[in-house]
Structure 1
């Protein structure tokens, strides 16, 4: 048994009163973030102009300033909403000074027009399978919020992040729980990530199955409809009833695609950590690969980053070893039989090899004469690192 921190994302069903409360806390979180960011920017710019590092902002300074200037209406809302918003703002500023972060950039103000609005609290509790938010003083009409029956609510609740998308409410529950290590199998596998499919030593998994084609076709249709409405009517188009209905349909299909792929990736990663003790994957430069217009959309839909994230924490949970091959490792160009590495005009590209007239999925070694499937050859090369 090992103690881990896991996140359970589930849908909640608040009544009319608690919907009003959640909406108000979402607005308050956005207000605290924007007020804190404005104050942080002012302090930071002052420190640069006056060349005085003692004036530089930090979490404590900004939080204390906002608390000292709280208006009367703010005392009717959770104090933790403000404190956690400023804590997240401090982390965002810390990441701003680290250009190695994947989504590096300066913190931005949050808009009330964003499709997702949310807030965090670390004082929520789970009571009889329902979510109970911290109640402000003097409030009497307060209700527990029902949670989806499919949720796995075992463990100690550390943080609840509630958010609203459209007319649906969800919560991400951060739980401190225990898991049992998977049985050792004494087996290893390499995992080759490709556009639309993931290959391993015993099989392959399609990441974008055929049933998504109809959804993507509808998404494309709705996007065109919204674009035409904006081109004809400008800003007024976004206020029309038909525009809102079409936007809701678009979001519904996006959510369906996300749910289908999430289910596929969870099942695949669980199967991999169950069947193998050592797993080898590549450290891919996904952003660099997406600069190519040839496969950028397919790469985006194949969810390489999400797959690696799931596999990483599941290996930690269940006592399995994850080996990450360096970016310089030639898993695609290397022959798994003789070790010859293709260079120059002999290299395999997304279109295959023009010089020798081979296809994308063909690997032919011109040293030992081996003929293999390109993806399976890459899996064998990755397996060699285990």
Structure 2
């Protein structure tokens, strides 16, 4: 008989879909969330006895809709009566395909509206599409739970008060809006990849959704490829003691071959379109890494060329820093250090870590130790700090 794990599995798979549909029906994010949560609570009480229904998502959506109607009936305002009338005349169970998929896309774009602050976009996307609780999101972003709760409440209020439309933007507005959506998904992935696998898994899920719903947007496909290729190395990032293992030292036999094959296929699909964008180029860089049987066999000249292309297309100090790493492998650490020292990234721990490694390779141990200390001070990741501490100790013992 089904139990709590079965309901939890449906929750993880269908929560965002159900909330998306209910938001369209209700025009109210809070009411939609409460109705869907009530439906899952009901499932916990009935599915163990009656079994999982043939269409779990349809059951959840219909039950949530009925819960919303019951709540609106208890309200006395004219607005509530109008909303109830609209719900009573709407279809009982939205189709699994087509409209449901469109609803999820609308909700992603609503969460990522440019009127909302980027941090609020991330939090609200995770809350509504990912089904993560406020405490989970707060822990992932290292902020107190009340702070995150206020952030989410303010974002919902902004959507309501500014009357932000629940729709996919017009074609003319789509490219600008899509960039924000992709940036939020990638930020979620990076945040999770450092310390919280659950977050990165949510980002990959959202990336798959975007690529499926918008197959003609090469940057959406490129972002998915990028995340899959990076995620393929997850099991090799730590040793048996939980210590961080950098890319050159990883056991490549532990990389996920299926994710690599899927990511590389998506990169080839992007290349055939010949509409390069930042995510596609970054995915191509990761594809080069995944093609190399050993660190020594890495085609650094090709990676350098790709970073040159990325610099021309989307210049930024972080891109320049990553390009400098490729320069170190093709021209040597001295040339790379000159590039790194010209960057204004003093608050970014990776900047100090790269600089420390270049100084170490140049035999400038005292300066390298200082750079490692700066990197440690600026890192929020316990695993990264542990790795940097080990590298620093190696220099001190010499």
Instruction: Bin the TM-score by the shorter chain.
Output: under 0.3
TM-score (norm 1): 0.27
Structure of larger gyration radius = 1
Name whichever structure is richer in strand by fraction.
1
Bigger RCO (CA 8 Å, 6+ sep):
1
Q: TM-score, normalised by structure 2?
A: 0.26
More helix by share: 2
